[in-house]
Amino acid sequence: METVKLFDAEWNLMEIVWETAPATASRIAAIAGQRFAWAKNTTYTVLKRLISKGVLERSGTDFTVTPLVTRRQMQLVELNNLVEKRFGGSEAEMLRVLYHDGAADPARRESLVQVLGDLC
């Protein structure tokens, strides 16, 4: 799972899948059409890529799609990739940046401190 990388379009479609699963590809395509103005073929292409990446499963003659990973699992994969790529593998450095530079709004900074305090 660590090696799975979702591009923005794939992540956007996974959000629909997580919200509606299990759902048919045609239902997902209808929602993607409304939400992103995607053509049906675009949605089907992205669904096939997600299946080949092992994050979705297709079943039935109606092309029912079920996620094989949770949103939380994929968030963790994305976060680990980010920490490795941008923070030299240091979660502490990421938190320092978030606290000192990323949370300019004092309320957001306090929220970060509160969450960390709750976890410790």
For the chain, what is the mean pLDDT? 92
Angle between helix 40-52 and helix 8-20 axes, rounded to 10 deg: 90
pLDDT at 120 over 90: no
In one letter, which amino acid is 102? G
Instruction: Give the pLDDT confidence score for residue 46 in this predicted structure.
Output: 98
Q: Give Cα separations from 13 to 23, 43, 48, 84 (angstroms).
A: 12, 8, 11, 25
Instruction: Give the pLDDT confidence score for residue 100 in this predicted structure.
Output: 84
Q: Give Cα separations from 91 to 82, 88, 113 (angstroms).
A: 10, 9, 15
- Report which of 82, 81, 63, 79 is spatially closest to residue 71, judged by C-alpha positions: 79
pTM given for the model: 0.83
